[in-house]
Amino acid sequence: MAQEDNTYLIRQLEHLNTIGVALSAEHNHQQLLEMILLGAQQITNADGGTLYTITNDHHLKFEMMCNKTLGIAMGGTTGVPISFPPLPLYLENKIPNLTMVAACAALQAHTVNIQDAYQAIDFDFSGTRKFDQNMGYRSQSFLTIPMKNHESEVIGVLQLINAIDANTGEIIPFSPENQSLVESLASQAAIAMTNHHLIEGFKNLFESFIKLIADAIDQKSPYTGGHCRRVPELAIQLTQAAINTTKGPLKDFYLSEKELYELKVASWLHDCGKVTTPESVMDKPRKLSAIFDRIELIDQRFELLKQQAENQLLKSKLALFSTLESIDYAKQSTLLEIEHQAFVSQCNENRDFLRHTNYGSEFMSVEDIQRVDEIALTPFKDADGKSIPFLSANECEHLKIARGTLSSEEREIINNHIVVTINMLEALPYPKSLARVPEYACGHHERMDGRGYPKGLTKEQMSIPARIMGIADIFEALTSRDRPYKKAKTLSESLTILGRMKVDHHIDPDLFDLFVREKIYLKYAQAFLEPEQIDEVDLSKIPGYQP
């Protein structure tokens, strides 16, 4: 008999060890709770059990219930909610609730082992009796164990009901040996739960910090804050499509759940360096914008130029009046008026042209650039009567910006945000699961032909997630409706520009084809774009794409 007992005990210890290893490896909270309760039932051959956790407001919350005889399985991963209200640890006037066995075990931090609940005099089992009467059941032996973590803090209660004799099937008390085993399991379980909560807490803190950075950029600039929130959505959509595809160059691409989370973190942080970019550059709405839009000074200059021309007209008329006969004077005066009106009209046209030029665009023609130079040379007198160019060298340089609103110097300041991003992200001590965050986050301005920045990487030198970031970043910027320097583009306009970028070896061609083929652009548009932006897309007209 002693040998049989030893064999049984060894078997139970093996069960305990197996469960303990599994608890350490489990990351799903509900699965963890279920594993604890079912493991305890298995060790003790208990018919039923309940797992409670202690809430912040001092209650025992039902997390998982199981009863083999009654076929009850609620909570955990079952999908069946537990409708019972939490058990209070304290009654009115903060009196400890010591009449309920689970509350007593939690409050006094010790195990309660009851052979027969109906014979117990220290606890109120009226609720148990009522349950038994309704269900045709007999609750007898109870083993209620507080779950204490590594700091001896009770975080939950494990309660087992009706130990079953494996040979006779009879209900028996929970033995001291089984009590000791379950206490050991409860301790391991509490530590596993605490570790899970700590990991989840740090993960939530990390994610909150990431979003805090995006919010900081949002406060700094409402134009890029939306970008920081939308790019992750688009990047994950395209990544999921790449994972799901079963054909083409991307058919073998795969990311695990952890790797997908790594990309999500990177996409949230891809523009974090913009916290150092001056708002005057980042949000520059017009080419001449500085502290204010300098086009207003040029407007005033045109008015002054016309007044100077009018003064010269009057002087010329006065000179003619003193030297010519009335008939000749009238003729010459009319010619001067015509010439003056032509000059005024030209001034107005040039003013309107510069106003239009001051808005950023995707392209500025050579003719328009030459016209800016010609206007700059228009004779103009300063306060001392000295002739000076109508436009300063700086004004001329900014008005001739071919794309957008930024000068080469300002573009360099903007581009530097990716260098700052790299420095910020590479300075962080990442765990192994997030080690590629800097690479993914900092590749969205590289090009497939190596002409991007900051490192000039080629397609072969970049991972697929980093290339995904490039398309997500560009498409969001094209369709964004909150940029101060451009109108939001429609789907067809945006896909045309992306198609040109594919042909120009700017973006990954395979990812672009997937982006179009799987209609990722449309899924994103339905969630984030205005209705007027969602136009009909003719796939045959997209450059570089073969339907």
pLDDT given for residue 2 in this prediction: 47
Query: Do residue 455 and residue 508 come from a single domain?
Result: yes
Query: Do residue 307 and residue 390 come from a single domain?
Result: yes
Strand (E) or helix (H) holding 50: strand 46-54
8-state DSSP, 460 = G
- Is the residue at 211 inside a domain? no
pLDDT given for residue 140 in this prediction: 96
- Domain span including residue 524: 221-283+409-541
Q: Which of 385, 403, 421 is the last residue of a domain?
A: 403
DSSP conformation letters of 80-142: ----SPPEESB-GGG-B--SSHHHHHHHHTS-EEES-GGG-SSS--HHHHHHHHHHT-----E
pLDDT given for residue 14 in this prediction: 58
Query: Do residue 373 and residue 422 come from a single domain?
Result: no
pLDDT given for residue 485 in this prediction: 57
Query: Do residue 35 and residue 162 come from a single domain?
Result: yes
Query: Do residue 99 and residue 12 come from a single domain?
Result: yes
pLDDT given for residue 362 in this prediction: 72
- Is the residue at 505 inside a domain? yes
Query: Do residue 276 and residue 305 come from a single domain?
Result: no
- Is the residue at 494 inside a domain? yes
338: number of Cβ within 10 Å: 10
Please list the rounded mean pLDDT of every run of 10 residues in the chain (547 residues).
Answer: 51 59 62 81 92 93 94 90 93 91 95 94 91 94 91 91 92 92 82 78 85 75 71 95 94 94 91 80 82 88 90 85 71 87 93 91 87 91 85 92 86 84 88 91 92 92 96 92 71 95 96 96 93 93 90
pLDDT given for residue 22 in this prediction: 58
pLDDT given for residue 417 in this prediction: 83
- Is the residue at 213 inside a domain? no
Query: Do residue 385 and residue 509 come from a single domain?
Result: no
pLDDT given for residue 217 in this prediction: 73
Cβ 124 vs Cβ 117: under 8 Å:
no
Number of domains comprising the chain: 3
CATH number for position 185: 3.30.450.40
Query: Do residue 20 and residue 141 come from a single domain?
Result: yes
Query: Do residue 372 and residue 479 come from a single domain?
Result: no
- Is the residue at 547 inside a domain? no
Query: Do residue 252 and residue 324 come from a single domain?
Result: no
Encode 349-367: b = buried (16+ Cβ within 10 Å), e = exposed.
ebbeebeebbebbeebeee
3 state SS of 46? strand
Query: Do residue 171 and residue 148 come from a single domain?
Result: yes
Q: What is the pTM of this model?
A: 0.69
pLDDT given for residue 325 in this prediction: 66
